[in-house]
Structure 1
Amino acid sequence: MNKLIALLVVLGLSALVSGERIVNCYWGTWANYRSGNGKFDVSNIDANLCTHLSYSFFGINDNGEIQSLDTWLDYDLGFISQAVGLKSQNHNLKVLAVVGGWNEGSVKYSAMAGDWNRRQNFINSALNLLRNNGFDGLDLDWEYPNQRGGQWEDRANFVTLLRELREAFAPYGYELSIAVGAGESIASSSYEIANIAQQVNFINVMTYDFAMASDGQTGFNAPQWAIENSINYWLNNGAPADKLVLGIGTYGRSFQLTDASQNWPGAPCRGVGGAGPFTGEGGYLGYNEICVNNWQTVFDYNNAAPYAFSGDQWVSFDNVLSVQWKMDFALSKNLAGAMVWSLETDDFRGLCGESFPLLKTINRKLRW
């Protein structure tokens, strides 16, 4: 009997831990402008599939103040208020405002982090943004300190900025998270890992984009070995496992093959693959675009990742099986959870089966 009780206690604790894991859903709000089955707005979000909804993106001005990048969408259409309103469907949902992103660059953030007045402008505008709109916290996606026009001092200044944000947020209970470059080459240049980890609630590790057409050959967007190496690097350099959130890309990186008969990983490519009907960007296909194609698909077990090809088009992406493998790794390392970039490129309409297959796979592993 005692063994049975002990087993039930262990199972109960496991369920509790699993239930508390983070599933952070980034949402690129500009998908509202996509056509047909690619159009995505608040009504397409299943609030129960996320513990956090990360509303992307806000930017900053030259004075360091946070600003809307699309006031018509954010306020006139009411996307912010509608997003925050999803908490009525899931009372435990946290809605975060995301500042930064690739297109925002690094220069303004470097200047802001290194100047006391601009930091205060940033912090005060962050408080106003959260208070005035009902957000539960801020996610800072500076890509990347000490790179893309930044400077070495960014590393220490980033710690200072995060510490001041944490102190300003504390009286209100606001959460603070960051999105970070995953691999050692980026992380070693950009971050004082142990120091930033002390200042934030959790760290979204962008474990994807490990291969691009600019490499001159096809490659995997998120091979298992690269993900494991990246997470182990963060762990070994002072990031606690319970603050690391593993990134899953709900999209693929596509390539135009130099020779259509050479269609394997590492084959030469002449550039990015053709744009998809929804995302409209060369070299990038949403999972909702990939799954409807009748391309030949191969699952590469050495990389725990699929790829597909048709003619001179080649794409590497994640599917249900590869996401399962990644979640098993996250569980083996007792990570805080997982995040997706991003909601609107999963198969949210269920064109190929169930809706949100990748996000639901994450939930089945981590929460259900």
Structure 2
Amino acid sequence: MKLFKLLSIFLLLQPTSAIPVVCYYILNQPRVSEVPIELCSNVILINSAHISEKSGSLQIFEPDISEFSELHEKRKDLQLLVSITSSNPSFSLLTSNPSLMEQFSRNLTATLLKFNLNGVDIDWEFPAWSRDAKRADRSNFSMFLKILNSHLKPQSLTLSVAVPGPPTISRVAYDVEVLNRYADMVQVMNYDFHVYNKLSNPVVGFNAPLHPMRAEISVLGEMNVICELVKNPSYTKVWNRHAQAPYLYGPSGLWISYENPESIAAKMDMAKHLKVGGVMVFSIGSDDVTGKCGDTFPLLKLIAKLAN
């Protein structure tokens, strides 16, 4: 079974009794007609809206967004957001100019209203912290959120911000008070704790472990495996009780981190215990979309069940 790349949490600044399930979605992964809208409270479209590296203006792929907006025809109360994903230089250019930010915010608001969308998700990875980022990004991003909020809020549009889980990044990149003041949702990308990089992080850990391990495992690995590999008798399944996460390893030295019902349940229990605003999944296309190994979207269905 093709498994979730991650399960994370998000912070809803005004929590409700229900636990929303935010689903990131790449167009045609799966097709719009196959998106399990009954399992998600919010669906965020990614890779269809960007910032121009030359002008700092909004660039959208209208056919993508138009097709995405058709989900409202099936479920009126479904919250549809579009994610702005761009390079650090693009974000730096935009947020360094107040006039550009005002124009961008006006155009973005008009686009959301035109396509009957409910809001925007800002995914800047990461202000002030990344190698190609600028020191002024942190304060400029704060101003950007303020300006965005001033345009979106009067139209009852949602402002979501994707942030990294590691505090070593967040402390440098964001003013938390500003996030609390202007963002309606904060998507915490806990999988950033263990991102493989040949130079800076040449070992891999769990996808999005619930708890830290006592020691890292010094082997390379891959994510998102098919069910045949999970069921392969030559691979050994292990449950790490400290991280509350499973992994596999095989005779070839391949080490695989993945999600299973037990790890999903543990994270959902923690989300309820912490009383966070909800859970976030990236992305729904990483589940068993076609039911190749049984039921379709088995992990997302479990998340939705436990969220009730």
Q: Deviations over 1:169-204 (max 9, x none)?
A: 122111111101111111111011122121011100
Cα offsets for 1:63-93 (capped at 9, x unmatched): 221113xx4xx51xxx423321212322210
Q: How many residues align?
A: 282
Does residue 112 of structure 2 align to residue 120 of structure 1?
no
Is the aligned partner of 1:321 residue 2:303? Answer: no
Structure 1 counterpart of 2:227: 291
Displacement after TM superposition at 1:17 (Å): 4.4
> For 2:197 and 2:133, how far apart are their aligned partners in 1?
25
1:280 maps to none
Percent sequence identity over aligned pairs:
28
Equivalent position SS for 1:157: helix
Map of 1:128-277 to 2, 5 A cutoff?
128-148=110-130, 149-211=132-194, 212=196, 214=198, 215-226=201-212, 266-269=217-220
Moved more, 325-334 or 115-124: 115-124
- SS at the partner of 1:180? strand
Instruction: Please state if 1:98 is matched with 2:89.
Output: no
SS at the partner of 1:358? Answer: helix
Answer yes or no: is the 8 Å Cα contact 2:16–2:277 preserved in 1: no
Give runs of ≥4 in structure 1 deviating > 4 Å: none
SS at match of 1:197: helix
Structure showing greater radius of gyration is 1
Q: What SS class does the counterpart of residue 55 from structure 2 fall into?
A: coil
More displaced, 303-312 or 329-338? Answer: 303-312
Is contact 2:159-2:185 (8 Å) kept? yes
Corresponding residue for 2:293?
352
Equivalent in the alignment of 1:45? 35
The letter for the 2-side match of 1:179 is A
RMSD: 2.1
Q: State TM-score, norm by structure 1.
A: 0.72
* Residue 60 (str. 1) matches residue 51 (str. 2): yes
TM-score, length-normalised on structure 2? 0.85
- The answer for unaligned runs of 5 or more in structure 1 is 1-15, 33-38, 228-263, 274-282
CA offsets 1:297-325 (integer angstroms, 9 cap, x no match): 21111111111123222111222211111
Q: Which amino acid letter does the alignment assign opposite residue 195 of structure 1?
A: V
Moved more, 81-90 or 329-338: 81-90
Distance apart, 1:114 and its partner CA: 1.8
Q: Which amino acid aligns with 1:352?
A: C
1:48/1:89 contact within 8 Å kept: no
Q: CA deviation at 1:51?
A: 0.8
